[in-house]
Chain A
């Protein structure tokens, strides 16, 4: 079974500053990795995903994440945030070898962008 740990529950950041959200996972097999964003009172939408290949993955809205297999991490970054990036962010992992493709989610990181 796999699990996900998001190391920061809340991240306050000023507008136009960079932000990094940390995610570590544990799994005995190869995995797919995802970051989702949830804006207030909405469902989750996919920011980016790592399936294979290049370890640097670019997503929507200027976000990117780097897969580090040796450190079992998948940290999310944005070089310059906007007020509209205020949201909750979830890291998720799926076992490559399973046939049901369930996702296990971290507890979430709330990002609050201040002017």
Chain B
């Protein structure tokens, strides 16, 4: 079972470069999320998509955009990377309408912006 798959696993960018983090889930979940994890700050929500066709800002959306491409895929784009965006990024999915199981997480993308 693949679950939630994120690519790439590691990425180094220069300030000002752009990139897209990809996320796909094969559990037929309706909701998908992007979090960033920084030391001592836990996980903070960047954007989420409660259902296909909708996206909403989370706690720290500045500098990011998202696309819910279809039910399976939810991408996160950095248009002009900044050193403050150095972090570990996690994609997650859930389906709260059937049962509140919490979130299922991918293995993360470690991003460094120089």
Contact = CB atoms under 8 A, between A and B. Distances in A.
Given A43-B90, A90-B42, A100 B102 contact: no
Interface stretch (A44-52, A65-73, A75-83): A44-52
Contacts of B94: 101
A62 B87 CA distance: 31
A43 B106 contact: yes
Interface string B27-66: 0000101010000111111001010000010100000000
A67 B102 CA distance: 17
Interface in A82-107: 90, 92, 94, 99-107
B107 interface: yes
Nearest to A103: B103
B11 to A, nearest CB: 16
A45 B96 contact: no
B40 A9 contact: yes
A14 to B, nearest CB: 25
User: What is the interface of chain B mostly: helix, strand, loop, or mixed?
Assistant: strand
Interface string B76-114: 000000000000001010101000111111111000000
A34 to B, nearest CB: 5
Interface in A1-58: 4, 6, 9, 32, 34, 36, 42-46, 49, 51
Interface of A: 4, 6, 9, 32, 34, 36, 42-46, 49, 51, 90, 92, 94, 99-108
8 contacts: A4-B42, A43-B105, A92-B102, A100-B31, A101-B100, A102-B33, A102-B58, A105-B44
